[in-house]
Amino acid sequence: MSSKIKTVHGRRVWDSRGRPTVEVDVHLDCGNFGRAIAPAGASTGSAEAVDKRDGGTIFGGYDVTGAINAVNGVIGSTLAGMEVTEQGQIDQAMIDLDGTPNKNRLGGNALVATSMAVAHAAAAAENLPLWQYLANPHETPFLPLPEIQIFGGGAHAGRRVDVQDFMVIAVGADSYAQSLEWTADVYRFAGQLMSDAGLMQGVADEGGYWPAFSSNDQALEFLVRAIEAAGFVAGQDVAISLDIAATDFGSNGRYHLSADDKEVDSDGLSEMLLGWLQRYPIVAIEDPLGEDDADAMARFTAAAGDKIEIVADDFICTSAQRIASAKSINACNTALIKPNQAGTLSESKAALEASRAAGWQALVSARSGESEDTTIVHLAVGWGVKQLKVGSFARSERMAKWNEGLRIAETLGQDGGRLAPRSSFPWAK
């Protein structure tokens, strides 16, 4: 039967922040179809694909009528009749239609929802789940090691503390299921400790606790206490990962730390973070310096050593070209892969391959504005990515993704979900 695209249909749905977003259905001549929803970021890099929003006063300017019209108009008419398995050609056709460096004519939200829906439709035509359709048939699949937010800060929690994400990674877990079980305990004890100390202020937009901490150090101290209260050895069983998101509070080599009421230069911020590496069981730091502070990023990466993942997000914006540039000065050693940051799955996969060519680690990541869509879990498993960052261990748009990993593990017949070998992670060296 034909697996050519018959129709492409976009509609407005709602994300986890109650804002409009784009959902796309791709229907095939053979009767199969694929569906996907575009996520949206709050903390965004200057080089990433931009959402097409209507502006004005309706829904605070966040409506997506223009993006949906693009899906139901020029995108749909161009893709009709194309072979759904030709993901690269389909994505390139949309890129050419848009014709801008950041997808602002048709909208990154229109393109990424369509690109992901095409992949789901292609998998459905083969009667396969997306992860299996994408996987290398000569390799045994594994589940990604979860990276899970416990405390939210920065743009995700009213900037009560400067660091955007205080996360945990169950570095000692033997399976995907066990990593979730351990994180559930840490999350629960963190909430109890904050409540007992009178620090509870709410929940951040990715599901982590919204802290009323007096400093960034206090947040780290409470996170260590939560790990230990849950019965784990900090650094051995459960370690810490941070998303500094330094671009959000700095520019031109100057950084304003609101929680500590001080301003520092690049070297001052690096010194503070290197001090944290000495005092706390941290195994990964994302965007430690601003996206415009490349030389400082390189100096920090060298000083942190090869056992720490220095994760680039805003600095590379899921771009193969920017990854190659970062590699040329050794500015980091791990790439964060966000499909909506690139705009299409083909560009996201190219960025992943560029990171592997550079000898880097990689994570597939969700965004702060999410939905029930679970595409990124299938991408992580199918593409063989060792880590997955979704947000916290609360809110249905987050748990839908963690739970999808459990279903995939069950399908694979693995006892709890085989993880990548522990020895393959930098902190295990």
Catalytic positions are 206, 338
CB 81 within 8 A of CB 27: no
CA dihedral over 408, 383, 106, 60, signed as positive or negative:
positive
Q: What are phi and psi of 282, to 5 degrees?
A: -95, 130
The 3-class secondary structure across the chain, one letter per residue, is CCCEEEEEEEEEEECCCCCEEEEEEEEECCCCEEEEECCECCCCCCCCCCCCCCCCCHHHHCCCHHHHHHHHHHHHHHHCCCECCCHHHHHHHHHHHHCCCCCCCCCHHHHHHHHHHHHHHHHHHCCCCHHHHHCCCCCCCCECEEEEEEEECHHHCCCCCCCCEEEEECCCCCCHHHHHHHHHHHHHHHHHHHHHCCCEEEECCCCCEEECCCCHHHHHHHHHHHHHHCCCCECCCEEEEEECCHHHHEECCEEEECCCCEEEEHHHHHHHHHHHHHHCCEEEEECCCCCCCHHHHHHHHHHHCCCCEEEECCCCCCCHHHHHHHHHCCCCCEEEECHHHHCCHHHHHHHHHHHHHCCCEEEEECCCECCCCCHHHHHHHHCCCCEEEEEECCCHHHHHHHHHHHHHHHHHCCCCCCECCHHHCHHHC
User: What residues pair up with 23 in beta bridges, in sequence order?
Assistant: 11, 37
